[in-house]
Amino acid sequence: MTVIELTSKDNPLLKLVRLVALQARKAPQDLVVAEGVRCVEEAIGAKCIIEAVLYSQEFGVSEREAKLIDTLSCQKARLYRTSDRLLKSVSDVQSPQGVLALVHAPVIALRDWAPVPRPLILCACGLQDPGNLGTLIRTAAAAGASLVCTTAGTVSPRNPKAIRASAGGFFRLPVIDRLDPSEFLSFCRVHSITPCLTDARGERSYSDVDYTRGSAILLGNEGRGISNAAWADMESIRIPMAPGVESLNVATAGALVLFEAFRQRAKAGRQG
């Protein structure tokens, strides 16, 4: 196993990690930063190509960490060991977990995705918090969703914070970024997918909707909800709440609807 000792703050790998983390135009568009043991393990499990791995001097002491390094070595990933100080310089985590990787995650378009029968899609519309989006991606993967997509104006799912909050769920299912609403609605019509818009003033309770058919669940901005005119004629659904409570955190609302869909599909034998 060949491990390169990285000691300079000006090393080209550190510069590349920073560019990718910032999603700079100069950065290769198919690279993302996966930070933490769980995220890197999920990338490996999804058979992603690992470009390079950066880990601290202390990393590898535990059995799980040592196994991860061995697995990465067997996959011919470039391994770099460095100080906590330099690792922290490319991490936005207050207490880095000791390892991060540059992972190939090709950018895909909606036209490139072949729908499975009766797909379950989560569409995030205008979310700004990468933590909320990442949590929704993690939940969508756990609920057997077929696809996650976002519309223009939403924080990127390729944001390192979103990937970390997804606990590697980003690598488990297709994620399409920055869709135009009209393109998404046209796709739904062509493939017989029923879109449902979550709204505190929605017409129907979320539990009264049939999700066993092709379904798309749309979630709006954490504060403003969904205001795009393209969604105006869409069926809206609500989550019943106690009097005086106006709204739920968007990640919580998404979890409730996604797992209702999961429950129905599991009961009908149509999970995923």
CATH code of residue 173:
3.40.1280.10
Residue 53 pLDDT grade (very low, low, confident, very high; cuts 50, 70, 90): very high
196-200: average pLDDT: 88
Count CA atoms closer than 13 A to 207's CA, side-chain side: 5
Q: Decide which of 85, 104, 123 is a domain's last residue.
A: 104
Q: What is the pLDDT of residue 247?
A: 77
Residue 72 and residue 37 in one domain = yes
Q: Is residue 235 part of a domain?
A: yes
Residues 119 and 232 in one domain: yes
When divided into structural domains, the chain yields a total of 2
DSSP string covering 71-139: HHHHTT-EEEEE-HHHHHHT--SSS--SEEEEEE-----GGG--PPSS-EEEEEES---HHHHHHHHHH
**Cβ contact 21:92 at 8 Å:** yes
Is a pLDDT exceeding 90 seen at residue 254? yes
Sign for the pseudo-dihedral over CA of 43, 44, 47, 52: positive
Residues 61 and 154 in one domain: no
- Domain-located, residue 3: no
Residue 154 covered by a domain: yes
Domain that includes residue 158, residue range: 110-268
CA distance 31 to 250: 28
**Pair (146, 206) in one structural domain:** yes
Average pLDDT for 254-268: 96
Calculate the alpha carbon distances from 17 to 6, 35, 85, 152 in Å: 13, 11, 15, 25
pLDDT band at residue 241 using 50, 70 and 90 as cut-offs: confident
Q: Is residue 75 part of a domain?
A: yes
Inter-helix orientation angle 250-268/130-142, to 10°: 10
Q: Are residue 126 and residue 245 in the same domain, yes or no? A: yes
Lowest mean pLDDT among 15-24, 124-133, 239-248, 252-261: 239-248
One domain for residues 217 and 129? yes
Highest mean pLDDT among 76-80, 133-137, 234-238: 133-137
Question: What distance in Å separates the CA atoms of residue 92 and residue 89, rounded to the nearest whole number?
Answer: 8
Residues 72 and 132 in one domain: no
pLDDT digits 0-9 by tens, 90-132: 998 888 889 999 999 999 999 999 889 999 999 999 999 999 9
Maximum separation of any 2 CA atoms in the chain, in Å: 62
Residues 98 and 119 both lie in one domain: no
Q: Are residues 144 and 50 located together in one domain of the fold?
A: no
Same domain, 146 and 179: yes
Q: How large is the average pLDDT for residues 16-34?
A: 95
What is the predicted pLDDT for the residue at 272? 46
- Judge whether 257 lies within some domain: yes
Q: Shortest CA distance to 167 belongs to which of 41, 257, 48, 32?
A: 41
CATH number at residue 54: 3.30.1330.30
Residue 140 located in a structural domain: yes
pLDDT band of 36, cuts 50, 70, 90: very high
User: Are 118 and 22 in the same domain?
Assistant: no
Average pLDDT, integer, range 145-168: 95
Q: Assess if residue 86 is contained within a domain.
A: yes
The residue out of 74, 104, 134 marking a domain boundary is: 104
Q: Which of 84, 104, 124 is the last residue of a domain?
A: 104
Residues 125 and 99 in one domain: no
Averaged confidence pLDDT in the chain: 92
